[in-house]
Structure 1
Amino acid sequence: MRIFTFLLIQAFVSLKIPAQNCCYRPSGARLNAPFQRSLITLKIVHFGKYPYKLINLWTFLEFMRPVLLLICFLLLGYSTYSQSYSIIDGRAIRFFTEAEQLVKERRYEEAEEKYRDAIKREGSFLEAYVKLSQLLITQGNLQEAESVAGLGKNRLSGKNATTKHAVDIGWVFSNIYLKTGKFDQALSQFKEIDPLFEDSFRTNMYYKEMKAQMDFLEQHLGNVKDIQREQLEEPLNQYQLQYFPVMTADGVQILFTKRDGTGNFDEEDIYTSYVTTSGGWSPPESIASTINSAYNEGTCTVTADGNILIYTSCDAPDSEGSCDLYVSYRENGRWSRPKNMGKEVNSRSWDSQPSLSADGRILFFSSNRRGGFGGNDIWYTVRMSDGSWSEAKNLGNVVNTSKDEISPFMFFNNEILFFSSDGHQGFGGKDIFLSRVEEGEFQEPENLGLPINDHQDQVALFITAQKDYAYYSEMSSSPEGDRSLLYRFPFPEEIYLGDNLIVTGGKVLNSKTGEPVDATLSLVALTNDSTLYEFKADGKTGDFMMLYPEKSISGLYVEKKGFLPKIYNVERDSIQNVEDLKVELTPIAAGEEFVFENVFFDFDKYELKPESMSSLTRLVKFLEENPNVNIMISGHTDNVGSAGYNKALSLQRAKSVQAYLVSHGIHEARVATEGKGDTNPMVPNNSPQNQALNRRITIRVL
């Protein structure tokens, strides 16, 4: 697979191997009994662009394998051996020392045979059992390594066996159990040998890392979540490879990367499917001819409403580097021609695995560019008011580490970032973590625990806006070849994802003609004037989608230049429960009027409350965008109190709005005021609710 490369080892950079094309290799991960599952088990590297330059993953691993094996081999052991051995047989010792030399020369197969010769010559040669099992571990032959270590353990009852030999073999078993996901056995074995380590070894980095992981295991082994996975039904999963699924907030559209084979020239494309009326899935199809091309397109992200798409493409003619991010907008029912996101976002390095915030205002992605903390880091960029994107910035060292952070996914509430990492404490390989945003700052990442994470690489996770399911892809191997399929599982309720989100939609129409209007809809928290979500209605149909946090106090602002704004108080108007909200915008014309919602006063007061700022700032914007418009600000009250008092109070409230506008640059001559008191009620004053509706400010175009 060619898009979401994450095996770009730092040594690769120094070797100056070109990193443009991509190739694919499965990690060999399997489902870990009883849950036997790895969220995504695709591992990728991209290399030379043209056939005569092609260096695939196998070549790269063969090139780097001696270096990596030697490093791993030297680091696995608890102790180093001097010229004193557990045996005295000179020929067996000679085999052993020859094997050690062969390891230094990176001739590992020959070294393995020499270690075996030493053991055949002298079955009590404990050092040879340890070194052979270590070498087998570095080669990935864990089953054989466990068998050899077991034979060595059986010899610990011999007269020449020492505590040091027992610790060495116990250390090997601890590593084997960790790498095979036998966490209970790994913890038990480590606890058995931990008291026997020499003080000098306890200061070693490798002991400290092992001790930290064992403490982590002890904390999590008693808290295994109950998860039942299911494979997505046909007609999905009909291709050899499909991976990196994402969905719209309403759950009716799924997008994924599709690939027909594992060869270097098998292209990647973005495919999509929709929920049918019967509850199944429609046959997947290419997302658009404007998106998929002769190059590789994949690892995409969409906004909650499905109208902004960002994806990765490698080797395109306008590429800034190896793999770049591209953006396309759904306009009038069609995807626009994609554009490279440019040098502010892309780099000459690998840029991939994008994740948009729900409304598309922030983009997170993974990159191995300079300026990070490790191999791959998570970066972000912000969409500006003119539609351009800000210069990408590193997310910082709370999330990023000296190792790899990949596959970001910002949950729909814009408050929880999921990502994959091997730099934070985990179960082995890459684990899925989440970091919560509090007061604008990312908090210390939390491991999602067992069995979502295990000893294999877990690379990506997508969770629905309703928090009911987590979607992922999983690799499997068979004699017929490798396959990657789409799966899901019910997301555990004990992992808190914040308040519930209500997903609804509607249409924005011209009140005079009934035609669709491509208005901007902003959901704003009235307590602090922060925009929670911002979406745009489709210019062809008028359709829009909106997310409503269940417990927020918010206002919905529907705006389009040339029209009067439409303002709602979400909670009072209960619009989050309206499945098909019809919003009618009125073209600006003399005499047209709208209710200026979300302007608040205390009882019997005319000073503006802080919660009024959202509406006031938007009224300033409206007048700035329409410099020829003059308005009348009218104050209204309910029927409590005398007519004269109510008229005076309503006028003072109108003047408070006028004063705010003038203080923010609007000429006083453009904003007249009047107090209507209780003379013009919207509804009868026969209930507290109706009286609240009648206490209002209206704006009329003069």
Structure 2
Amino acid sequence: MIALKKLHFGKYRYKLINLGTFLEPMRPVYLLICFLMIGYNAYSQSYSIIDGRAIRFFTEGEELIRERRYDEAEEKFRAAINREGSFLEAYVKLSQLLITKGELEEAEAVAAAGKRRLSGKNATQKHVVEIGWLFTNIYLQQGEFDQALSQFEEIDPLFETNFRNNIYYKDVKSRMDFLKTHLNQVKDIERELLAEPLNQFQLQYFPVLTADGVQILFTKRDGTGNFDKEDIFTSYITTSGGWSPPESIAQTINSPYNEGTCTVTADGNILIYTSCDAPDSEGSCDLYISYRVNGRWQRPKNMGKKVNSRFWDSQPSLSADGRVLFFSSNRRGGYGGNDIWYTVRMADGTWTEAKNLGNVVNTDKDEISPFMFFNNEILFFASNGHQGFGGMDIFLSRVVDGEFQEPENLGLPINDHLDQVALFITAQKDYAYYSEMATSPEGDKSLLYRFPFPEEIYLGDNLIVTGGQVLNSKTGEPVDATLSLVSLSNDSTLYEFKADGKTGEFMMLYPEKSVSGLYVEKKGFLPKIYNVERDSIQNVKDLQVELTPVASGEEFVFENVFFDFDKFELKQESMTSLRRLVKFLEENPNVNIMISGHTDNVGSATYNEALSLQRAKSVQAYLVSHEIHPARVATEGMGDSQPMVPNDSPQNQALNRRITIRVL
């Protein structure tokens, strides 16, 4: 077996963990005494010694364990060993007790002392197995997985049938089979501490970034005391490539109460965060929402009873465009202690009744810290209910045809025997951000780190992050238009963003390989429609979109309306644009339009005019079938008489084959 690569920093051992009042205490998974040896009583109760006083110490210790008086029980077992050094049962019980108390190094030392006594004349196979089982569990808890597997394989043939049927044996056996698969797949990860001026506080955790990677948000806490306050802080990438000094996100957000564990949309304009015990709280911790309008965060609002409950609701994660919110809650109706739940934002800005994500992701234990990746197709979360390395591990579940698939463990060394609670992966798939807790003589600290995300964990097609500005074509003023990226193959909205009303600026995400249309819309304006691939706008760094106010004589190209060659029947890929034209006419009931068909110069002028008219009439028929009055939609066939560009290449001919809409 290969040795595991552990993450160390200085002389203190770290683990991936996040802090705060927003991390509901999960049901503890204690290694009780019964966990180690319950069921292994196929052997009759007997002792390796005959000293009555030592045996009395031993039985008194067992009684004290039943009363949970562990320190006193430890004294009794040590007294038994001091009385009789070959008392193998006392070594086993004392080591078990020390494991339960979390004193692993001392438990290992006691087990080792007992192992040295196995050469005695009264040692039996029972004692060999018991001590080997101790070492197996000690190594598992220490993260020494190679040694745990080796020790288990050594004693496994010696277990009796009754013990093999025990739930604790089956649990460890499943974990060993899991380790066999993963020990030879350890990923090479090099972490780095985020540079100053970040990490200047005692505690900072739960980092999230906007899609362009220029803004980071995190929870900041002044100390580990019960009354130490938590706030949301933010920092920006500077022109030199560093980070700006962290500052409070806004006075409207941070309050005398605790705020933290936040999530933002890809463009950074919608913020959802957790606040605990606020006056308007539905329960212990609730989710709050705030919108950034004209560059300023608005006063947050409790998300209400459809989303929040009387129980713990926290750790939110928004889809990139803010249409779906995932979060963790221990409310009733779940499968375990903490489950992943979700809610959907409706067109009017309200949120649907929260629903449990289901038992593919959720288990009878705990699932927390959801993070929906920017492509809306991969959900990351932490769980101690799926097969892992110990404690909380980080998993991903892929969305296929709208269904979450069986979770995948992210493997070593992202996960280990300690608690891994949360990761945030950038839209560019280059880095994973997280926080680590350290205990040192200087006090507990939680710091922000990142590491290059392993390429072998597939995150789907690349995403392109781009931006631009929406302006009024007549006045040059900014327009707070809605931008929708839609898959033309199935008419599904991939992303939806809004331009800032003060600047007109927006940020968009484009899947690299999708066939999509971009629709820029604002009531009172003609829509602007792009074919993303044909218009090559994916890589445009500063896309300038000009929207024209609705007025008689104004015209726009009705993109993404498709016909087969020499045909006039509308193709399925046209449905997105057609639906939006219906919406435009419904929002502007006094507007009448002329639908004009255009062709390239292939064929005779008479034929092209007839074909273009038939295509315009196909659009008209769709509108009428969707309750648009026929008198509002006239048609004409222009043939090849009004080319947009010269018909001197296949690309230009494609541009000239179009439908235009003119306001009458």
TM-score, normalization by structure 1: 0.92
> Aligned to 1:40, which of 6, 12, 17?
17
* 8 Å Cα contact 2:12-2:439 kept in structure 1: no
* 8 Å Cα contact 2:64-2:72 kept in structure 1: yes
1:204-228, Cα deviation, whole Å (9 max, x unpaired):
1101100000000000000000000
Q: Does 1:75 align with 2:52?
A: no
> Aligned to 2:568, which of 600, 606, 620?
606
Q: Does 1:515 align with 2:492?
A: no
Letter in 2 for 1:614: T
Partner of 2:3: none
> Aligned to 2:591, which of 624, 629, 632?
629
CA distance in 2, matches of 1:249, 1:45: 24
CA distance in 2, matches of 1:516, 1:642: 45
Q: Which moved more, 1:258-267 or 1:551-560?
A: 258-267
Query: Residues 489-508 of structure 1 correspond to what in structure 2 (within 5 A)?
Result: 489-508=451-470
Q: Which moved more, 1:432-441 or 1:83-92?
A: 83-92
> Aligned to 2:314, which of 347, 352, 368?
352
Partner of 1:538: 500
Query: Residues 120-269 of structure 1 correspond to what in structure 2 (within 5 A)?
Result: 120-269=82-231
Give, in angstroms, the shift of residue 31 of structure 1.
4.0
Give, in angstroms, the shift of residue 479 of structure 1.
1.4
Distance change >3 Å, CA 281–CA 149, structure 1 → 2? same
> Aligned to 2:324, which of 362, 366, 380?
362
Distance change >3 Å, CA 186–CA 43, structure 1 → 2? farther
Q: Does 1:694 align with 2:660?
A: no
Give, in angstroms, the shift of residue 477 of structure 1.
1.1
Q: Does 1:316 align with 2:278?
A: yes
RMSD of aligned C-alpha atoms? 1.7
Give, in angstroms, the shift of residue 74 of structure 1.
2.0
CA distance in 1, matches of 2:322, 2:639: 43
CA distance in 1, matches of 2:608, 2:412: 64
Give, in angstroms, the shift of residue 137 of structure 1.
0.3
Give, in angstroms, the shift of residue 380 of structure 1.
0.1
Letter in 1 for 2:36: L
Partner of 1:4: none
Partner of 1:476: 438
* 8 Å Cα contact 2:22-2:260 kept in structure 1: no
CA distance in 1, matches of 2:74, 2:15: 31
**Structure 1 counterpart SS, 2:172:** helix
Partner of 1:457: 419
Letter in 2 for 1:77: M
Distance change >3 Å, CA 360–CA 41, structure 1 → 2? closer
1:493-552, Cα deviation, whole Å (9 max, x unpaired):
000000000000000000000000000000000000000000000000000000000000
Q: How many pairs align?
A: 657
Partner of 1:14: none
**Structure 2 counterpart SS, 1:269:** strand
Q: Does 1:420 align with 2:397?
A: no
Percent sequence identity over aligned pairs: 82
Letter in 1 for 2:98: L
* 8 Å Cα contact 1:32-1:454 kept in structure 2: no
Letter in 2 for 1:291: I
CA distance in 2, matches of 1:281, 1:83: 66
Distance change >3 Å, CA 655–CA 149, structure 1 → 2? same
Give, in angstroms, the shift of residue 301 of structure 1.
0.1
> Aligned to 1:288, which of 218, 236, 250?
250
Distance change >3 Å, CA 432–CA 142, structure 1 → 2? same
> Aligned to 1:372, which of 331, 334, 339?
334
Distance change >3 Å, CA 318–CA 30, structure 1 → 2? farther
**Structure 1 counterpart SS, 2:376:** coil
**Structure 2 counterpart SS, 1:215:** helix
Q: Does 1:332 align with 2:294?
A: yes
Letter in 1 for 2:35: L
CA distance in 2, matches of 1:143, 1:164: 24
Letter in 2 for 1:355: S
Letter in 2 for 1:161: A
1:371-407, Cα deviation, whole Å (9 max, x unpaired):
0000000000000000000000000000000000000
Partner of 1:11: none
**Structure 2 counterpart SS, 1:524:** strand
Partner of 1:93: 55
Partner of 1:8: none
* 8 Å Cα contact 1:41-1:457 kept in structure 2: no
Letter in 2 for 1:436: R
1:430-482, Cα deviation, whole Å (9 max, x unpaired):
00000000000000000000000000000000000000000000011111210
Partner of 1:401: 363
Give, in angstroms, the shift of residue 33 of structure 1.
11
* 8 Å Cα contact 2:434-2:449 kept in structure 1: yes
1:600-637, Cα deviation, whole Å (9 max, x unpaired):
00000000000000100000000011111000000000
**Structure 1 counterpart SS, 2:533:** helix
Q: Does 1:466 align with 2:443?
A: no
Distance change >3 Å, CA 104–CA 382, structure 1 → 2? same
Distance change >3 Å, CA 593–CA 305, structure 1 → 2? same
Give, in angstroms, the shift of residue 39 of structure 1.
2.0
Partner of 1:12: none
Where structure 1 has 5 or more consecutive residues not aligned to the other structure, the ranges are 1-28, 48-56
* 8 Å Cα contact 1:32-1:181 kept in structure 2: no
Partner of 2:70: 108
* 8 Å Cα contact 2:12-2:440 kept in structure 1: no
* 8 Å Cα contact 1:35-1:451 kept in structure 2: no
Partner of 1:556: 518
CA distance in 1, matches of 2:119, 2:9: 34
CA distance in 2, matches of 1:121, 1:506: 81
Distance change >3 Å, CA 522–CA 572, structure 1 → 2? same
**Structure 1 counterpart SS, 2:553:** coil
TM-score, normalization by structure 2: 0.97
Letter in 1 for 2:102: G
Give, in angstroms, the shift of residue 264 of structure 1.
1.0
Give, in angstroms, the shift of residue 237 of structure 1.
0.2
Letter in 2 for 1:73: I
* 8 Å Cα contact 1:500-1:549 kept in structure 2: yes
Give, in angstroms, the shift of residue 36 of structure 1.
6.0
Partner of 1:18: none
Letter in 1 for 2:197: P
